[in-house]
Structure formats: C-alpha cells, structure tokens
Amino acid sequence: MIAHMVYFELTDNSEDKVRELVAACREYLTGHPGVEFFAAGPCAREFDRPVNDRDWDVALHLVFRTRADHDAYQTAPRHQQFIAASKPNWKKVRVFDSHV
C-alpha cells in the first residue's frame, strides 16, 4: 500500500479557513477508487514538544491499495477540482509518500 500524507500551510489560517479546507478535503477527496483510509484535520496545536513539526495548518492522510490507485488519483477530476478550489489559499504544501 501507499501512504500519501499532505500537509498544508495556509496563507489565511483563521479557524474558518482551516475548517473550509478540511471540508473541501472531505467533499473532493473521499471515495476515490483504491483508497483504504482517508482522514483530514487541523494541526493538533496542543501537542507542543520539541519534536513536533507545527508549521502547517491542515493534514490530509490517504492510504491507497496500490501505486496504480495512487497514480490514478493524481489526475482524477475531483482531485483536480480540489486543487483548483483550494490552491489560492495555500502558502506551502508538503507531500510525503511512503510504502506501508
């Protein structure tokens, strides 16, 4: 399986904009073929230890059954709609893909 973890830092990271991005993740990024796990949520700021990386606002977690499922998701129309709708408020996006 392939874990696809995306961390968004927002230009406007107000609570409303964070909730808006989480809602957009749920609207556009759920139910894609081959997704074994989906989660999206805000940074848990209460975990403030020296090892915590906290320079992001929203996390997206997807686990795909196969590399082919991951690759098909990248060009899927709903994924592209998510990018078009959400990208204007992205300050920085980091993607971490791993085998799990």
- Structure token digits, residue 58: 């929203």
38: nearest Cα among 25, 49, 47 = 25
16: nearest Cα among 38, 42, 39 = 42
Confidence (pLDDT) at 36: 98
pLDDT digits (tens, 9 = 90+) for 54-96: 899 999 999 999 999 999 999 999 999 999 999 999 999 999 9
How many of the other CB atoms lie within 10 Å of CB of 80? 12
Confidence (pLDDT) at 90: 98
The verdict on residue 62 lying in a domain is yes
The verdict on residue 9 lying in a domain is yes
How many of the other CB atoms lie within 10 Å of CB of 6? 18
Task: Find the domain containing 24 and state its range.
Answer: 2-44+56-99
The verdict on residue 7 lying in a domain is yes
The verdict on residue 49 lying in a domain is no
- Domain of 20: which CATH number? 3.30.70.100
- What domain count does the chain have? 1
How many of the other CB atoms lie within 10 Å of CB of 39? 14
